[in-house]
Amino acid sequence: MTTAPATSAALWRGSGTATQILVLTLRSLRALVLDPRLIMASLLSPLLMLLLFSQLFGGLFGGAAGTAAGAPGVRYVDFLVPAILVTTAVQAAFTTGLGLVHEMTNGIVTRFRTLPIWPGSVLLARSLADMTRTAVQLLLVLLVATLLLGFRPDGGITGVAAAWALALTVGGGLGWIFIALACWLRGPELMQSVAGLATFPLIFASTAFVPAAALPGWLRAVAHANPVTYGIEAARDLTLGRPAGAAALASVAISLTVAAVCVLLAIRGFQRIR
């Protein structure tokens, strides 16, 4: 009578991968909801950037932005908001890596490693949880831009929704760069320094805040090679109601390629954690 339960326990290999990812994703989301300070900080950051750059560059690059967008007369806020969507998603990916490093240092990841779960489940769950948070951030950005700044792009709700989805895809794909860095660097200070150094050119060496025509020649070349620029230009085309097929496909292809490579690197680095 006592051998059957022991045998069943010995044969149990844990839950399925999908269940593991779901449970770990909900755990990360619950931890986020239980910390109001983190919620406020994550929601206010993109709003401050939106308000700051709309007021700082609105008068300087209003006309240039319209020319660069291929539609003279486009207001700077309509030029800026799609870029804020993409850059916010990229910045959120940076915090994903930092959060993972902190979990490595406080022992949570070590406890996960003792469980019968696939190592990639921890990483995928972290990515999905932060993408959910990012989705809320981007919706708040759109709401504030519409109510306070008069964001009224020609693409309408359909174009804005497509740009929102594209920003999440780009941010989620490029976010695996920071997850992979977290799995290999593991130190909070080192991770913050290296990831911050990588984030700065991705965001500012692009056409996010200034049209390409207004950039110096060398910086324009860097912007054209920057994968974030493709996402920004595609999101901009979608919100302005312009054809965005080639740019959108390029940005999604680049993001998914980066994600595929970095997922493998991240899992390999994660398995080396002791």
Domain ranges across the chain? 14-271
Residue with the two structure tokens 């908001």: 81
Confidence band, pLDDT 50/70/90 cuts, at residue 167: very high
Mean pLDDT of 177-186: 86
CA distance 194 to 97: 11
> Distance between alpha carbon 1 and the CA centroid of its chain, in Å?
54
SS3 content of the chain, % helix, strand, coil (to 5): 80, 0, 20
Question: With pLDDT > 70 as the criterion, what percentage of the chain qualifies?
Answer: 88
The count of C-alpha atoms lying within 13 angstroms of the C-alpha of 39, restricted to the half-sphere facing its C-beta, is: 12
CA distance 224 to 232: 11
SS3 state of residue 69: coil
At residue 8, the pLDDT reads: 47
Mean pLDDT of 169-180: 88
At residue 64, the pLDDT reads: 56
Q: To 10 degrees, what angle do helices 156-185 and 188-204 make? A: 150
At residue 62, the pLDDT reads: 57
Q: Examine the pLDDT at 224 and tell me if it is beyond 70.
A: yes
CA distances from 135 to 64, 77, 213, 266 (A): 30, 20, 31, 23
N-terminal to C-terminal alpha carbon distance within the chain: 39
Mean pLDDT of 164-170: 93
Mean pLDDT of 153-157: 88
Residue with the two structure tokens 């983190």: 38
At residue 72, the pLDDT reads: 59
Mean pLDDT of 250-255: 89
For all residues of the chain together, what is the average pLDDT? 82
CA distances from 85 to 36, 53, 71, 90, 187 (A): 23, 13, 20, 9, 29
Is residue 10 within a helix (H) or strand (E), and if so which, with residue range?
helix 3-11
Count of residues in the chain: 274
